[in-house]
Amino acid sequence: MIRDIKKLGIQHLQVSAKDYAYDGESRTISGYGAIFNNVDRDGDVLVPGCFAKSIAERGPESDANGKILFLWQHDTDEPLGRITVLREDEKGLYFEAVIDEIELGDRCIKQLESGTLNQFSIGFSYVWDAVRYDDIRDAYIVGEVKLYEISVVSIAANPETEYLGLKGEGHDPVDDLNAELAAFMKGMPIERQQKLQSIMAKAISLASSKPAKESLVEDKQADTPKSIFDCFKI
């Protein structure tokens, strides 16, 4: 059996913040951004070592300019602070982040303390050469990802994740698109890679969705594109 669903663009993986801790004096939040070896709601199993390359290249101890970010609700325009510790242990991806003394940072701390917010999430993309499908577990075994950020989030929804059910034998156009996108982004600053992945996922999602109002006018305008996205056939 070969799984026929591919995932394109930035993925978001949610983890409960029940194990998080906060040091008020240093404004440091610590917790886990991901847990190893369990099947998540999207059918992925992250295995130890999958974050190692990202941590080495763009972790807090690296010399990279575009380090892995700590964000509010996956919004790259709303950084909360900086990650000071990022490592894999036997449980998962452990992090510590110092929250800046800004209005949004104060809000984040208050809402974590009150329990209004109780989730962390990571933003990443797959390194498909290191991913295999397990028939028995009906899950992707993920050996490597490109980690962009860790976020404090309120909901588990991921509007930028596109699932394409492309069936058939032989050539897979999703593989082509992933390969073409990876080649185009090679050498691009990590922030631009993340933004481009996000834009691509949104565009494909819109192109493959039929607007609700379209059914009201399709008889009159059957041969006329309703928007630019009607010109895309995914």
Residue 105: per-residue pLDDT? 96
Tell me the pLDDT tens digit for each residue of 20-62. Answer: 788 888 899 999 999 999 888 778 999 999 999 999 999 999 9
Residue 11: per-residue pLDDT? 82
Structure tokens at 97: 């982040």
Q: Give 145's contacts (C-beta < 8 A, 6+ positions apart).
A: 46, 50, 51, 54, 124, 125, 126, 127
Q: Which of 232, 234, 231, 227 is nearest to 211 (CA)?
A: 227
Angstrom distance (rounded) from CA 6 to CA 166: 8
Residue 140: per-residue pLDDT? 92
Q: What is the mean pLDDT of each run of 10 residues along the chain (234 residues)?
A: 54 72 87 90 91 97 95 93 97 95 95 86 91 91 95 62 33 58 70 69 57 48 46 40
Angstrom distance (rounded) from CA 195 to CA 121: 17
pTM score: 0.68
Tell me the pLDDT tens digit for each residue of 140-163. Answer: 999 999 999 999 998 643 333 333
Angstrom distance (rounded) from CA 56 to CA 203: 32
